[in-house]
Amino acid sequence: MIKAVVFDMFETLVTLFVGRTYFSEDIARDLGIDVTEFRREWHKNEHDRTIGKLTIEEGIAMSIEPFGICTPENVALVAGKRNEALCDTFGNIPDETFELLGELKKRGIKIGLITNTFSDERALIRSSRLFPYFDAVRISYEEGVLKPDPSMYLSIMEEFGAEPAECLYVGDGGSKELYAARELGMNALQAGWFQSLATEGHLPCPLLPDFPHAMKQAEVLEWVDNEGNTGRKQNKQEKLTEQSVTRLVVFTYVMVGMTALQLYLMYVVRELVIPMSKDLALGKVNDPILQVIIFFFGFIVVGVYLFVLFAIALIMTVIALIPAFLLRGVGLRKSIISTITKTEYTITKCIYFGTIPVAIIPGLFIWEFENIYFLIILSAGWLSIMLIYLLGVRKWSQGQRK
């Protein structure tokens, strides 16, 4: 049972991508300096700004000092515009955020906040309409440490008197916050409802296939309601991911073995089947029993060789397709399905193309040119199987994206 839900702040409860925005490129433009060089200086003191060693004004001054433009007016300009943008952020908190926090309060679930912030952000958080909802708060600027430091998670769980398994951490995924929560035994849910608002180059964190996603605030409540089932799905997801890797390892060994068998059969065809077939065709073999033996021996060897080619294609098809049906049955999200199956499909496709030269190029050296027609037939058959395989998987993968 979930007793506490701990939230990240930015891109989880509020978003920077509403109203006025003020990022590094805006600062550089206002000050007339190169944005790349400014970002380099800005990031140098980001850690100290985040853990309370520098105020935002001090951080701005240090960042623009190398450009020779560190004046009180410029510092005030940047700090002021940052404050305006942050006021828009906290003045446009979605109703869904308040509804989510209010419902958690009604259920008696503790609400926590763990956030990495600068001094100006800290001030607005404490004065915002959100702050009264929190039962415990860990702000990096005040704590002297920042996520993903475990101490922030451990101290807030201790204050709640809750075990890690009884806590849910919800965040957009930046600063490796979800991984830190999961490593401590907390349930971790990635907030994705602000993803579509982020501008190019400023997406804090893409959707992570390692975690379940909530694309609406209300889905956090659904997750809490179905916490037991969700936990089992996560365990099933991890198990299936391990199985996926195991399949790839086994598949690699099978491919190596079958390729070796393929080359050996090519040698047998060249050294035994073709010469004996020539003798049989030229009438050099008079014994009827030997004629039958030669005929069936050649038939069996060539048949096995072609079967090996077909088996390789079939194995790759199965390896690429089965995981999707397994995962779909568990009810996991399409993003998880596509990630695992895309990985397997990519690897199998690379191995598939890689076996083409193994199947064809050695033949140019093993077989004599008078048997080039036999080689062409094999090559055409192999390419046909490859084409069917690729078209089939492509059609299937397109269906998965619908």
151 and 242 both lie in a single domain: no
Q: Does the bond joining 204 to the residue before it have cis omega, within 30 degrees of 0?
A: no
Which domain, by its residues, includes 49?
19-90
The domain tally of the chain equals 3
pLDDT score of 202: 77
282 and 350 assigned to the same domain: yes
* Same domain, yes or no: 80 and 109: no
The confidence score (pLDDT) of residue 226 equals 84
Burial code (b: 16+ CB inside 10 Å, e: under 16) for 231-254 equals eebbebbeebbeebeebeeebeee
Considering the domain architecture, whether residues 394 and 265 belong to the same structural domain is answered as yes
**Which tens digit of pLDDT belongs to each residue from 116-142?**
999 999 999 999 999 999 999 999 999
CATH of the domain at 190: 3.40.50.1000
Cα–Cα distance for residue pair 305/295, rounded to 1 Å: 16
What mean pLDDT value characterizes the chain? 78
pLDDT at 209: 86
Across the chain, which has 402 residues, the per-10-residue mean pLDDT values are 95 94 95 96 96 97 97 97 96 96 96 97 96 97 96 96 95 94 94 86 82 93 75 50 56 64 67 66 69 68 65 59 46 42 52 49 46 53 55 48 39
pLDDT of residue 335: 42
Note the pLDDT of residue 385: 53
114 and 209 both lie in a single domain: yes
Q: Which of 83-100 are b and which e, b meaning 16 or more Cβ less than 10 Å from the residue's Cβ?
A: bebbeebbeebeeebeeb
